[in-house]
Structure 1
Amino acid sequence: MAENEWNGLPAQSMEWLQEQLGAAAELASIKPLTGGTSSTLFELDVREKDEIRSYVLRLFHKADWLEKEPDLARHEADSLQFAEQAGLPVPHLIAYDETGEASEVPAVLMTKLSGSVVLQPSNDENWLEGLAASLAHLHKTKPEGFPYEYFSYNNAFLLEKPTWSKVQNDWMRAFYIVAGSRPEAPECFIHRDFHPANVLWENGRVSAIVDWVNACRGPAGIDVGHCRVNLAQLYGTSVANDFLAAYERHAGSSFTYDPYWDLVSLTDTLDGSPVVYPGWKAFGMTGLSNELMRHRLDDYLLSLLDRFDDF
C-alpha cells in the first residue's frame, strides 16, 4: 500500500507497528477512529494466516498533556493489563512505546473489541442499568499493587468566578466546598474517565470499557461523579440522578454516596466557558449547543448544592 494511503499515520509509527505485529502480519487497512480528542486513534485490520484481526493504535500527540504526564503510554498499558487480569472487559495490550523514541510519539497498540458507542439508546432504563452495573462491577476490583493514585485536575483555590454562568455565586460556594477537607472514602480501582462514550455495546449489553489512560486507585464516587456530569450535559440532571440510583442499587452496601465527589467531578470539568464535547458529535449526538451546556451545568450544580443542604 502506498505511503499516502495510510491515513495520516507517521512513517516511523508504521515501522514500529510492523515490528510489533511481526513480519508475517500484513496490514490490510488503517483508518482513523472518531471520537478521540486527547489522542489520535487508528483502527487496523491485519491479515495473519488468512485471518483478519483488528487492532487499535493510540498515539499520544498532545505536547501539553505529555508535559504534565510523560508516562501516559505506560499508564494505559499498566491499566489494561491490571484490568484484564481482574477479568474486566477491556482490550488486550499488544505493545507500547512509552517515550515515542521508536514510534515517533508515545504509542499503545491493543486489540479492538466488538461493540459500538451508544448515545441514543432505544431503551433508556436498560441502558442506564447497563452503565451502572458495569461501573459497580469495575469497582469491585481490589486496587492493591496498582501504582497510580487519584488526583483532582483543578485546584479549587485557583478557580475564578465563571462569568458565563447565571449563578456565579453558587459556583463560588462550590469552589469553597471543594477546597475544604475531603471526606474519607475507601479506595478501589477506578477508570477515572468513565462516561457513555467510553463504553461499547453489543446486542443490548455492555461489551467493553475502553480508554484506560487515567485509571488509578481512588474513591468510587469520582467515577460515579464523572459519569453523572457527562450525563447531565448530554441529557439533563434527571438522567444523572437516575444513573446514581441505578449505581447505588448495583453497588449495594459497598458504596456510600457523598455529594462532595460529584462536586469535585463537576469542578474538574471547568476550563473556560463550557462547550459541547466534540466526541459526542462524532458519535451522532446532535442538537447540543454550548448555551445548553452552560444551562445544564448550572442546573446540575444547583442540584448538588441542594444535596449538601440535606446532609
Structure 2
Amino acid sequence: MARNEGSGLQAQSVEWVKTQLGDTAEITSVKPLEGGTSSTLFELAVQENGSAYSYVLRLFHKADWLEKEPDLAKHEADSLQLAEQAGLLAPHLIAYDETGDRSGMPAVLMTKMSGSVVLQPVNDDNWLEGLAAALARLHQTEPADFPYEYFSYNDAFLLGKPKWSKVQNDWMRAFYIVAGSRPDARECFIHRDFHPANVLFENGEISAIVDWVNACRGPAGIDVGHCRVNLAQLYGISVANDFLAAYQRHAGSSFIYDPYWDLVSLTDTLDGSPVVYPGWKVFGMTGLSDELVRHRLDDYLLSLLDRFDDF
C-alpha cells in the first residue's frame, strides 16, 4: 500500500479505510481536498483487481462542533443512505466510524463523485436552472422517520446589533421577526447546506450534491433561503431572486414561499463580523472582499424586509 506521507492523514485512519475496502484493494495515493472548512477531506485513489476507484474520506476534527453534535459521522451516513434510496445525486456510503475509536476521529468513507464546483458559470441561466431543479427534486423526498430535525443555529433573542452593518436597526427588526411565531410549512427532506460550493457539475449538468452532514426533516424554505443568502453574497440580490423564481417554477404548487424562512436563513449565517467564505476563494472567486460581502448582506436584508411589507 502506497501512501502520501505529506497528506496529513494519520496511519490509523489509513488502516481503517483499508479494512473497510478489503484485502484486494490497494490505496495508491492520498490527497487532501480543498474547500472544506468544518471537516477535513481526503481523496483516496484505489486499485482493485485491475480497476481504479476514487473515494472521499471525511474526518470530523472540530471539537466544539462534535461537542454539540457528537453523532456527526452517523448523521451524514444516514443522510447519504436516504439520499441514495431516493435516487438523488449523492455519494454512496462505504462505511463510517461514529466515535473515531477505530479511525482516529469520527469518519465517513464514501465514493468520490465526478464533476467540479462551478462558481463562474458560462451560462448563468442554465446554471441557476440546474441548481433550482436539483433542489426541487431533493424536496420531493419524504423524510418518513428520518431522525434528524431542523433547528436554527442562532437564537434571535440573543443577537445584538451588528456593529459592522450600516443598517443596524433594520437587523434588529429582522431579529424581532425571526424570534416571533413560525409559519406553518410542509416538512420534507432538506439538505440544510445547499449552496453552489456543495454542487458538482460535469458537461454543464449537475453530477452530484455533496456534504450531507446537516440533512434533516424541515421546511423547504430553509434550503431555498440558505442558497439565496449564499448567492446574494457571491453575486448580489438579482441572482438570489432569479434562483427563487427558478425554484418556484420547478417546485410548483408543492412550495409556498414565505420570506420568514429567508430571514431565518440570513440570521443563521451571523457569527461575528461577516467575511468571505474561504471555500469560495479555493473555487476561483477571488474578486470578493469582506466589505463587499457585508454590503451585499445589508442590501439583501433590506430586500427581505420589503417583502414583509408586501406580504
- Range class of TM-score, shorter chain: over 0.9
Q: Establish whether residue 134 from structure 1 lines up as the match of residue 124 from structure 2.
A: no
Tell me the residue number matched to 1:169.
169
CA distance in 2, matches of 1:57, 1:261: 33
> Partners in 1 of 2:281 and 2:218 — Cα distance?
30
* Number of residue pairs the alignment of both structures matches: 311
Partner of 1:96: 96
Q: Kindly provide the CA deviation profile for residues 209-230 of structure 1, in whole angstroms up to 9, marking residues without a partner as x.
A: 0000000000000000000000
Instruction: For residue 130 of structure 1, report the CA deviation from its aligned partner.
Output: 0.2
Q: State the alpha-carbon separation in 2 of the partners of residues 36 and 3 from structure 1.
A: 22
Partner residue of 1:301?
301
Task: Establish whether residue 38 from structure 1 lines up as the match of residue 38 from structure 2.
Answer: yes
Partner of 2:149: 149
Structure 2: runs of 5+ lacking an equivalent: none
Ranges of 4+ aligned residues in structure 1 off by more than 3 Å: 1-4
Tell me the residue number matched to 2:213: 213
1:289 shift after superposition: 0.4
Q: Aligned equivalents of 1:109 and 1:100: distance in 2?
A: 12
* CA offsets 1:244-288 (integer angstroms, 9 cap, x no match): 000000000000000000000000000000000000001111100
- The answer to whether the Cα contact below 8 Å between 2:40 and 2:58 also exists between their aligned partners in 1 is yes
Name structure 1 gaps, 5 residues minimum.
none
Code of the aligned partner of 2:293:
M
Structure 1 vs Structure 2: percent identity of aligned residues? 83
The 3 A distance-change label for structure 1 pair 191 and 105 is: same
Distance 1:6-1:52 versus aligned 2 partners, 3 A rule: farther
1:18 aligned partner: 18
**After superposition, what is the alpha-carbon deviation per residue over 1:150-197, rounded to whole angstroms, capped at 9, x for unaligned?**
000000000010000000000000000000000000100000000000
Partner of 2:279: 279
Change in CA separation of 1:303 and 1:198 when aligned onto 2, cut-off 3 Å: same
The 5 Å alignment of 1:187-226 reads 187-226=187-226
Distance 1:194 1:4 in 2: 32
Aligned equivalents of 1:4, 1:170: Cα separation in 2: 51
Query: Aligned partners of 1:63, 1:200: CA distance in 2, in Å?
Result: 28
Q: Deviations over 1:63-104 (max 9, x none)?
A: 000000000000000000001000001000000000000011
Deviation track 1:28-47 (CA, whole Å, cap 9, x = no partner) reads: 11100010000000001000
Residues 295-304 or 4-13, more deviating: 4-13
Whole-angstrom CA distance in 2 between matches of 1:89 and 1:56: 15
For 2:85, the equivalent position in structure 1 comes to 85
Quick one: structure 1 residues 204 and 2, their matched pair in 2 at CA, closer, same or farther if it must change by over 3 Å? Answer: closer
Q: Are 1:52 and 2:47 counterparts?
A: no
- The CA distance in 2 between the partners of 1:103 and 1:160, in whole Å, is 41
Q: Which residue of 2 aligns with 1:120?
A: 120
For 1:254, the equivalent position in structure 2 comes to 254
TM-score of the aligned structures, taking structure 1 as reference length: 0.99
Aligned-pair CA distance for 1:5? 2.0
Letter in 1 for 2:156: A
2:70 counterpart SS class: coil
Please give the root-mean-square deviation of Cα atoms over the aligned residues, in Å.
0.9
Equivalent residue letter for 2:220: A
Alignment correspondent of 2:69: 69
